[in-house]
Amino acid sequence: MATGRPRVVTSRKGGPDLGDLSGPFLLALLGGDEAAVEGLVSRSRALGADTALVVRDLVMPALCEVGRMWTRGEASIAEEHLATSLASRVLGRSSGSGGAPSGPDRRIVFACLAGEFHDLGIRFLADVARECGWDAESLGANVPREALVRFVQQRPPAAVALSVSLAGHVPEAAQTIAEIRAVVPGVTILVGGLAFREDPERFALTGADVGITDAVTLRDWLRAQEGRRSAVSPNGSSVCGLPIAMPASLRRRVARSR
Ligand code: B12
């Protein structure tokens, strides 16, 4: 995959309008009303929204508003924590699965960079990827660079998706991407997160292949990869994402249990 300026992709708006549900959703999150949050997610699904759309049009606006309220002193840190964990729990339960993933060409690893604690986005995105039939692994928040690079080297996926919320972490993203490319040259690297929603020019500073700022665009990008061969070079270092150094019998057992 070529380096240089990332391809920045954005899907057009579309799908059911969840606008009427967003106010009640915010109130339910701030009030810690799990049944109401669940009910509103179910109503969105009944209107035809998949996880990507629920994340973009229901969850994101509510959590951005929680963030604004937090900075204005209208919501406490405890209320923010409550809203975040409630959204994460309910969405996790309601997300579907797109069926069995079809091999290493469809394996994607999500991670937040070292020092980056905003991992809710990638938790949702991993659900979106699973709904698209991808084998998604989320390494969560604050993944040390060396650990991430080693993980990707040992089990090369088709794609690595890095999340950056704080603008100050863009240089760390660039360094991480350079180190991943040095050990797995063919992997497709995506970046996204608040840092790029605030200023898309920052994509160019990372060296990533693809820049995406929302869940619906990621869903569309993942679907568009269907049928395309992975760019990961067949150097024998990965079979279904499991390290080649693993004994063949153990590898088969682990692969069967996934
Ligand atoms: C919840 C939250 C926290 C939680 C995070 C909990 C968790 N487990 O994620 C905690 C309490 C840890 C936290 C900490 C901090 N936070 Co905070 N936080 C928020 C808040 C309220 C919501 C974030 C969120 O979950 N949004 C919802 C998710 C779904 O959105 P998302 O992460 O952007 O992801 C979506 C897209 O960006 C995209 N995406 C994300 N990553 C990727 C990657 C790829 C590859 C792709 C394709 C797409 C993609 O898809 C996702 C789904 O659509 C925001 C407010 C806001 N406006 O966002 C502030 C906010 C991000 N935080 C902020 C700040 C300042 C901090 C702290 C510095 C506060 C402090 N003084 O300690 C620390 C920093 C910690 C750190 N080093 O990372 C500021 C950032 C300001 C700025 N512009 O830089 C914000 C904007 C609040 C504000 N208004 O000031 N925070």
Cβ of residue 196 lying under 6 Å from some atom of ligand 1: no
Question: 214 in ligand 1 pocket by Cβ < 6 Å?
Answer: yes
Top-confidence residue, 226 or 255: 226
CA-nearest residue for atom 55, ligand 1, is 67
Q: How much is the pLDDT for 244?
A: 33
- Taking 60 as the threshold, does the pLDDT of residue 23 lie above it? yes
> Atom of ligand 1 at shortest distance to CA of 215?
53
Q: What's the burial of 251, exposed, middle or buried (CB within 10 Å: 0-12/13-18/19+)? A: middle
**Nearest residue CA, atom 6 of ligand 1?**
118
The residues, ordered by sequence, that sit 6+ positions from 127 with a Cβ below 8 Å of its Cβ are: 51, 91, 92, 95, 136
Ligand 1 center from residue 167 Cα (angstroms): 11
Q: What confidence category does residue 230 fall into, taking pLDDT thresholds of 50, 70 and 90?
A: very low
Q: What is the pLDDT of residue 19?
A: 86
Please check whether residue 59 is in contact with residue 98, taking contact to mean a CB–CB distance below 8 angstroms.
Answer: no
Q: How far is the CA of 194 from the centre of ligand 1 (A)?
A: 7
**What is the CA(35)–ligand 1 centre distance, in A?**
25
**Both tokens of residue 221?**
């990008």
Sign of CA dihedral 117, 59, 86, 29: positive
Sequential DSSP letters for 100-113? S--SGGGEEEEEEP
**Helix, strand or coil, per DSSP, at residue 189:** strand
Rounded CA separation 252/258 (Å) = 10
Q: Using CA atoms, how far apart are residues 206 and 106, in angstroms rounded to an integer?
A: 23
Q: Report yes or no on whether pTM surpasses 0.75.
A: yes
Kindly report, residue by residue over 70-125, the tens digit of the pLDDT.
999 999 999 999 999 999 999 988 877 666 656 668 999 999 999 999 999 999 99
Question: Ligand 1 in contact with 61 (CB < 6 A)?
Answer: no
* Domain residue spans of the chain: 19-94, 98-253
CA 49, CA 225: separation in Å to the nearest integer? Answer: 22
Task: Find out whether the beta carbon of 122 lies less than 6 Å from any atom of ligand 1.
Answer: yes
The phi-psi region of residue 256 (left if phi > 0; otherwise alpha if psi is between -120 and 50; otherwise beta) is alpha
What is the rounded average pLDDT of the residues 173-182? 97
The pLDDT of residue 46? 94
CATH hierarchy code of domain 98-253: 3.40.50.280
Q: Ligand 1 within 6 A of 197 CB?
A: yes
What mean pLDDT value characterizes the chain? 85
Our CA angle for 231, 232, 238, nearest 5°, is 150
Amino acid symbol at 63: L
Total residues belonging to the chain:
258
What are the φ and ψ backbone dihedral angles of 31, each rounded to 5 degrees? -85, -5
CB 13 within 8 A of CB 44: no
Count CB atoms within 10 A of the CB of residue 55.
27
Q: Does 191 contact ligand 1 (Cβ within 6 A)?
A: yes
pLDDT band at 7 (very low <50, low <70, confident <90, very high): confident
User: Is any ligand 1 atom within 6 A of the Cβ of residue 56?
Assistant: yes
Regarding the beta carbon of 136 and ligand 1, being less than 6 Å apart is answered no
pLDDT value, residue 243: 39
Nearest CA to ligand 1 atom 61: 165
Domain 19-94 sits in CATH 1.10.1240.10: yes
How many Cα atoms occupy the beta-carbon half-sphere of 145 within 13 Å? Answer: 14
Mutate to test the pocket of ligand 1, among 26, 109, 118, 216 (most ligand atoms within 8 A of CB): 118
* Residue pair 162/173 in contact by the 8 Å Cβ criterion: yes
